[in-house]
Structures are given as C-alpha cells and as structure tokens.
Amino acid sequence: MDEDLSFYLISIMNAASIIGRILPGVLADRAGAYNIQVIFTTVMAISILAYWTPSSNEAAIITFGLFYGFVSGAFISLFTVCCAMISPIKRIGGRYVPSFVVANGRFGLLSGFNAIAGLTGIPISGALLKPGTWSNGFGPMILFSGISVSIGAALYAAARVKMVGWKFNVKR
C-alpha cells in the first residue's frame, strides 16, 4: 500500500467508528446491550480473520478499515454499558469510572484491565510482524488479533448466558 494513502487509514477507521458508536446504541435500546455487543464483537472477529487476511490491494484494505471501524465503534460504545448493567449502583465506581471522573484516586477495575490490554497488545502485535510470512507479513498479527477478539466475543456471550440463560428473545 502506498505510504501516503496508508497514513489515512486511522482517519478512515475513526470516521466509520462515529457511525458505529451511534447506530449500535440505538439497536441496543431495542434488543439489549449484551445481545448487540455479542453480535458486533463476533462480526468484528470474523472480519479480522476472514476479511483482513486475504486483503492484498488498497481497495480491500480501505474497505476493511471502514468495516472494522464501524464494528469496533460498537464495542467501544457498548462495553461500558454492559459493565454498568451487571454492577450494583453503589459499586459501579470500582468497576468503571470514566477517565474524566476520579473517584478516590482510582479509575476502576475495568479501566485497569483495558490499560493492560492496550499497553501489551500493540507491542505484541508489532513483534508478530514477520516479513516473508503469509498475508504480506501481517499474518501472525492478524491471527493474534482475531483470536483475541474471538475470546472477547466468547466472554461476552458467556456473561449474557449467565445472566439470562440460553433464551434468545430476552432483552439483555
């Protein structure tokens, strides 16, 4: 991919993420936050493994960036809602406190886990870039990313099943 064009991929994904943060929230009001989160996180994992891997030209990579930006926007906007749904109101500060609110000097358990994932995921992905391997050297990194998101989707599904069982028509 041309370096001048690749520079804009983050902006393309962020632009698609705007729509991905709004539309799933509207859907979550109707179908339930966990239901929508499981669907979008599963679609995100499938898109990484099935769409990014064979992408070999600029058009395919740009369309993947648009699609991934959209589905990852749902994850970003709904994961705090899902955490709030399972937390008693008196303990919600220990589970999640937005970064602009500091409660007793803590940012919450959820923010701590997100920080660990954010701090370790990028260096691990960078170490997995192997020139000469499949998918133009990005193959091992794509596999790591896809498996990580798949585990996240499975954990969201397990949390939903623990809350309401295997009933699919429950808004949760």
List, in order, residues 6 or more apart from 82 with CB less than 8 Å away.
33, 34, 37, 156, 159
CATH code given to domain 3-164:
1.20.1250.20
- Cross-strand bridge partners of residue 64: none
% of the chain residues with pLDDT over 70: 86
150: pLDDT strictly greater than 60:
yes
Mean pLDDT of 94-109: 49
**Domain locations in the chain?**
3-164
Strand ranges (E), the chain: none
107: pLDDT strictly greater than 80:
no
Q: Assign 89 a pLDDT band (cuts: 50, 70, 90).
A: low
HSE-up of 11 (CA within 13 Å, CB side)?
5
137: pLDDT strictly greater than 90:
no
Mean pLDDT of 94-100: 51
Mean pLDDT of 88-111: 54
Max mean pLDDT among 36-40, 116-120, 159-163 falls in: 36-40
pLDDT at 154: 95
List, in order, residues 6 or more apart from 93 with CB less than 8 Å away.
103, 104, 106, 108
Torsion 163-166-171-172 (CA) sign: positive
